[in-house]
Each structure stands twice: as structure tokens, then as C-alpha cells.
């Protein structure tokens, strides 16, 4: 009879030869290759003798020898027959375990979708279309992202940068219930499933136990940074150094202590949500900060969408189709170097805080847009290295300036995002009521704010001299007044002027080159004549 392990039932593995039948009850564990503990039922073929049941480690010689002698005595057969049968069983179980490990690993791996020719052509045609960013933004909206037109496109471009050697990162800020996680989740669904990792909570050492290249060029979506505080340090290291290493002590088979290195490599693109701006300052410095739209207009858009869902007017199948299409456009983007020939002429306003990092983010975002436009950019080759690259165009800079205007404005503001929102709502209220002065209670009731939040905002605003107390004789209630109603508009104008001036400078520098080239071509034509 040919030796064979019957594996139809994983909980009852049967091995037979001409003399014996060995049944492994309960199957075997596939983890821990340094041992093979089993519960075995051993019986003679075509015999009335009762079978022998025993649990042992097949890799433990002492246990094995005792078991062989016991079986030989009870079944009255030679020890060599039992020893040979157990040896053959061990080999079969080893093969079976290796196959099971491979099978489990394959199941854990996300299957990378292979695009057919029609899907590739459709994605390429879209990426070559005019007004690509606006068309992309329209599709993002149709995929189920309501409102947040600037923020959703910003986030999409940032997620696209994961394929580059210097990916960008983003943190969504806003009050509780404003849809931070929803925005991140819905835009994240436009990234191919095999290239994103969604995390709800993180332990301190969680990142160290990913595979060495398991996170490379992936988007890490952290639902709530408040639940991942202990993991923020390795996360920052992964963002900055693109590699984290941890040493741990463990014992080998001989009981000797040895040092192991846990290495996880990037680069990665990280996205997270929080209501607490100051707590995550170190992480925020490495990221684009997106402040969610908390306006009444955005509330109306969300509620209208909720009513459409309830009335059955939303086509969820169409949303899934659009998600799949945008994922396909991401799949055909290829890593390519981007060079910005205009970088030396791009300057940020002096009002921007932490200009070194912000300047780097600004330049990288322009490159990310060029990367997304790679099917519309001429491929060039480095004369020395032969490396392929594409160049930033004026259109890319204009698109970046349009999307980043609010980001740069916030980066130039000495107030936190929530405090700035409060001040602008306060200004709107005073303008509507044609008032100059106000009480804290009056505004708190109008904006429906908790007293502690308003107290925190007022402290910031008084320290920044953006509001001041007005004392009036005979009145116990404090009156306040806004010191400069136009300060934010002035800051916005300053930033816009700086960006426009840089663009005009670039355009002026290009025109003479084009004119010179035209003159040279004219001379060549006349000479030929």
C-alpha cells in the first residue's frame, strides 16, 4: 500500500501503511516549527486489538522512544516497524504543515487586481483629459463624498503621493461630529485596497510587528489619533526617516538569550483625524492640516444627502463603480522622478510659521500634482544618469496655489483652527447685527458654544490682541470688542499677492526664452533660403 496522508478532514489526519494506521486527532498547529505536538491514535490493520491513544511531541526523542516501546508491548510487534511508521508520519506531517502555512500566507495577502486592456485604456484616457483635477473632483463627489470640495481633492492628491519617495501626510481637524473620519474613509476608498491600511486603535509597539516591507508605499489611515497616542513616536520616525528599528531579547532553542532586530521600512503616507490641534503638534508639523467645513451650508448638503439615502434616490452601485474606476487610475500611475525647474523662484510669505517645513510641503505638493499629470507631461532623460523624469509646469503651480491657499493661510495664522472659526463667526454676527461690542453670553447663546470652549478662545484672542475688554461704569458684565475686523482678509491678500507675484515672475522669465528661440528659428530659416 502506498504511503499517504489523508487530509480531507483537518481535524482527523490519517496515515496508513501495510501494517499500521495512525490517526492524528485534532490536527496539528501550523505555528511553531520547532515542535510537533500531536494526539495520535495508533492501531493494527485488520486487528481486534484495541488502539493506543497518546499525546506527544514527535520531535522529542525521549517521548518518542517510550511511546514506541509501549506500543510494541501492547500490540506485540517489533519496535522497528513502529519507529519507521512514526518517522514516515512525521515527514508527511511536515510537508502538510508547510503547505498549510503557504496557503494561509496566500489568503492573508490582498490580491492585486490585474487590469485588462480595456480598463487600462479607460484609465489612461481619463488621466490624459483636459481639466483633469476638476474632473477628478467631480468623480470624488459622485463616489459619495459630500461637499468639502477643496479638502477632498487635497486629500486625494496627498494619498496619490504614497507612490513617491517623499510622500505627503495629512491630519483632519474639526469639532466632534463634523465628518472627519467619514471624509478620510471615503477618500481612502478611492485608493486601491492592496495599497491602504485602515487602523482603529494602535498599541505602543504595533508598528514594529508589521512585515519589513508590508507598509512600503501604502496609505495608513488612522481613524482617531486620540486612541493612538502611544504609537505616535514610531509613526513620526516612519514619516521622517522612512524606517523604524526595534531591538528585542528572545531565547533560542538552546535557551540562550539573543538580540533580534524588528525592522519596518517606508516610505508611507499617513492620515489621521483629531479634535485636538495642540496635542499632536510634532505630528502636525510633518503633515498638511485640513480644517473641515463646519458652515451651515455644509450642514445643509449633508442633511440633503441623508434625506436622499432615506428616500432611495442614491445609486450605491454607481458609487462603487466610480470608486473602482478611480482605483484603476491610481494603479496605472508609475513611480517617476519629478523635477521643478521653477523651484528657485517660488517663495512663501514671511508670515508663514515654521517656513522650512512648510516650504518643503509646498514644493512637494506641486510635484505631487505633476506626478498625477504624468500622462500629460513629456518624459525626459538625465544626460548623465539616463534616469527618466518629468518636469513641473506653470499649470501645476497654479493648481497647487489654488488648492493650498487655505492651507498656507492657516499656516500663517497664530490662532488655532477652531479659534479662528470662532472669531470669523463672531465677526459675521457683529456685521449682521451692526454692532461693535458684545458679551460672552450673547455670543455663546448665538453660536451654541460650551462655556469652557469660549473661555479658551477668548484667552487666545485677548493674548493675540484680536479682541479686547471694554469696561463700562455701572455694568458688571464684561463687554468685548474686535480690534481689527479686516486682519484675516489682509493676511489672505498678502498670501495671494505673494503667490501671484511668484507666478508672474516665472511667466516673465519664460517669455524672453520663447522669443529668443523664435528669433533663432527665424535666422535659421533665412539662412536656409
**Which residues make Cβ contacts (< 8 Å) with residue 340, sequence separation at least 6?**
346, 363, 366, 367, 370, 391, 392
CA separation for the pair 153, 148 (Å, rounded): 8
pLDDT at position 524 is 47
3-state SS record for 219-260: EEEECCHHHCHHHHHHHHHHHHHCEEEEEEEEECCCCCEEEE
Helix or strand (DSSP H, E) at 3:
none
Nearest Cα neighbor of 186 from 362, 305, 364 is 305
CA separation for the pair 44, 46 (Å, rounded): 6
Q: Is 103 exposed, middle or buried (0-12, 13-18, 19+ CB in 10 A)?
A: exposed
pLDDT at position 266 is 82
**Between these two residues, 293 and 187, which has the higher pLDDT value?**
187
Instruction: Examine the pLDDT at 516 and tell me if it is beyond 70.
Output: no
Confidence tier at 235 by pLDDT (50, 70, 90)? confident
pLDDT at position 519 is 47
pTM summary value = 0.74
Instruction: Examine the pLDDT at 94 and tell me if it is beyond 70.
Output: yes
How does pLDDT run across 376-394, given as a tens digit for each residue?
999 999 888 888 999 999 9
CA separation for the pair 43, 19 (Å, rounded): 9
pLDDT at position 284 is 64
Confidence tier at 239 by pLDDT (50, 70, 90)? confident
pLDDT at position 279 is 54
In 10 A of CB 503, how many CB atoms?
A: 17
Cα 132 to Cα 136, 194, 342: the distances in Å are 6, 25, 22
pLDDT at position 126 is 95
- φ, ψ of residue 289 to 5 degrees: the values are -100, 120
Cα 67 to Cα 5, 28, 177, 224, 346: the distances in Å are 21, 19, 65, 55, 80
Amino acid at each position: 500500500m502506498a504511503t499517504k496522508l489523508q487530509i480531507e478532514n483537518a481535524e482527523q489526519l490519517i496515515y496508513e501503511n501495510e501494517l499500521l494506521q495512525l490517526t492524528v486527532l485534532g490536527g496539528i498547529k501550523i505555528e511553531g516549527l520547532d515542535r510537533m505536538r500531536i494526539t495520535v491514535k495508533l492501531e493494527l490493520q485488520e486487528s481486534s486489538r484495541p488502539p493506543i491513544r497518546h499525546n506527544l511531541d514527535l520531535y522529542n526523542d525521549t517521548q518518542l522512544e517510550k511511546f514506541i516501546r509501549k506500543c510494541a508491548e501492547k500490540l506485540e510487534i517489533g519496535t522497528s516497524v513502529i519507529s519507521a511508521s512514526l518517522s514516515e508520519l512525521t515527514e508527511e506531517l511536515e510537508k502538510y504543515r508547510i503547505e498549510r502555512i503557504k496557503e494561509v500566507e496566500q489568503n492573508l495577502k490582498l490580491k492585486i487586481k490585474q487590469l485588462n486592456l480595456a480598463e487600462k485604456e479607460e484609465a489612461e484616457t481619463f488621466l490624459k483629459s483636459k481639466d483633469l483635477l476638476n474632473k477628478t473632483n467631480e468623480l470624488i463627489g459622485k463616489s459619495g463624498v459630500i461637499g468639502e470640495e477643496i479638502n477632498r481633492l487635497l486629500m486625494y492628491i496627498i494619498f496619490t503621493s504614497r507612490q513617491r519617495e517623499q510622500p505627503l501626510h495629512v491630519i483632519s481637524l474639526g469639532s466632534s461630529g463634523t465628518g472627519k473620519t467619514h471624509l478620510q474613509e471615503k477618500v481612502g476608498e478611492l485608493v486601491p485596497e492592496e495599497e491602504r491600511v485602515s487602523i482603529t486603535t494602535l498599541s505602543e509597539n504595533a508598528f514594529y510587528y508589521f512585515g519589513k516591507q508590508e507598509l512600503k508605499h501604502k496609505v495608513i489611515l488612522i481613524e482617531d489619533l486620540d486612541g493612538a497616542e502611544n504609537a505616535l513616536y514610531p509613526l513620526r520616525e516612519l514619516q521622517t526617516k522612512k524606517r523604524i528599528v526595534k531591538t528585542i531579547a528572545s531565547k533560542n532553542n538552546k535557551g540562550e538569550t539573543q538580540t533580534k532586530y524588528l525592522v519596518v521600512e517606508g516610505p508611507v503616507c499617513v492620515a489621521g483625524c483629531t479634535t485636538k490641534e495642540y496635542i499632536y503638534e510634532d505630528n502636525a508639523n510633518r503633515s498638511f492640516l485640513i480644517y473641515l467645513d463646519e458652515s451651515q451650508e455644509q450642514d445643509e448638503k449633508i442633511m440633503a444627502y441623508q434625506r436622499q439615502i432615506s428616500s432611495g434616490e442614491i445609486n450605491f452601485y454607481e458609487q462603487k463603480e466610480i470608486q473602482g474606476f478611480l482605483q484603476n487610475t491610481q494603479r496605472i500611475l508609475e513611480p517617476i522622478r519629478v523635477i521643478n525647474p521653477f523651484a528657485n523662484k517660488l517663495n512663501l510669505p514671511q508670515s508663514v510659521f515654521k517656513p522650512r517645513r512648510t516650504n518643503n510641503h509646498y514644493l512637494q505638493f506641486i510635484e505631487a500634482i505633476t506626478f498625477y499629470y504624468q500622462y500629460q507631461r513629456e518624459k525626459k532623460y538625465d544626460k548623465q544618469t539616463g534616469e527618466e523624469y518629468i518636469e513641473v509646469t506653470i499649470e501645476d503651480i497654479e493648481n497647487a496655489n489654488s488648492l493650498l491657499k487655505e492651507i498656507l493661510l492657516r499656516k500663517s495664522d497664530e490662532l488655532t483652527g477652531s479659534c479662528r472659526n470662532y472669531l470669523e463667526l463672531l465677526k459675521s454676527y457683529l456685521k449682521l447685527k451692526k454692532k461693535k461690542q458684545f458679551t460672552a453670553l450673547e455670543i455663546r447663546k448665538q453660536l451654541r458654544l460650551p462655556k469652557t470652549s469660549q473661555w479658551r478662545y477668548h484667552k487666545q484672542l485677548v493674548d493675540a490682541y484680536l479682541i479686547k475688554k471694554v469696561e463700562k461704569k455701572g455694568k458688571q458684565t464684561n463687554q468685548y470688542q474686535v480690534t481689527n475686523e479686516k486682519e484675516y482678509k489682509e493676511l489672505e491678500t498678502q498670501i495671494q499677492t505673494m503667490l501671484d507675484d511668484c507666478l508672474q515672475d516665472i511667466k516673465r522669465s519664460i517669455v524672453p526664452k520663447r522669443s529668443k528661440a523664435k528669433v533663432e528659428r527665424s535666422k535659421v530659416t533665412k539662412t536656409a533660403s
